[in-house]
Amino acid sequence: MHFISTKFDASSKRTLRRSAVQVAATCSATLLAAVLITGCGQSLSKVTKHGHQFRATDAQLIQPGMSQDDVRLSLGTPTTTSRFKGGQAFYYISSTTEQMAFLAPKEIDRRVFVVYFSELGSVDRIANYGLKDGRVFDFITRSTPAANNAETGFLGQVFKNLGKRGTLGGGS
């Protein structure tokens, strides 16, 4: 067997050593950057949900004619209730906040699922209110509530601080 022998002078050895150190440093820096970007991307934003989180199946659970007790069994205790001319309503209010790193949380969504009852106490209709283009919007009927309605005043109060610092009802 013959071995090929290559002779390197001192200058060539230093160049090879320097190149190996640079490659190792570049790989280490790239790996560190990838780990930091991946880790920070997950921890920079924290989303928190409060209250009744409406699901599409919730609307299917509530049928016209159901009693108030049946609604409580299906959806749980409402966030609040109100009486109005012609009946009563159960309001299930939810909010979603997002917090970026060390900044104060910001509310990014608020929903109000409402079950309306007739004077006799049975389900008359349901609504799922949220904001669309800055206006209160019912995502079930795909419409905005009538402007001269007592209900509109209440919903306006519920949605007026959306996006401001703090939580439900909390202004800046």
**pLDDT, average across residues 114-127:** 94
Is this prediction's pTM over 0.75? no
* Residue 66 CB contacts under 8 Å (≥ 6 apart), including other chains: 74, 122, 123
Q: Hey, how many other C-beta atoms are within 10 angstroms of the C-beta on 113?
A: 27
What's the pLDDT tens digit per position in 2-23?
555 556 566 666 665 666 667 6
- The structural domains of the chain, with segments of one domain joined by +, span 10-43, 45-159
Give residue 109's pLDDT: 84
Q: Report the candidate in 165, 160, 151, 46 with the shortest Cα–Cα distance to residue 107.
A: 165
Give residue 90's pLDDT: 95
Q: Residue 172 pLDDT > 50, yes or no?
A: no
* Residue 39 CB contacts under 8 Å (≥ 6 apart), including other chains: none
* Residue 27 CB contacts under 8 Å (≥ 6 apart), including other chains: none
Q: Residue 156 pLDDT > 80, yes or no?
A: no
Question: How far apart are alpha carbons 106 and 167 in whole angstroms?
Answer: 8
- The pair phi, psi for residue 6, each rounded to 5°, is -115, 130
Average pLDDT score over the chain: 76
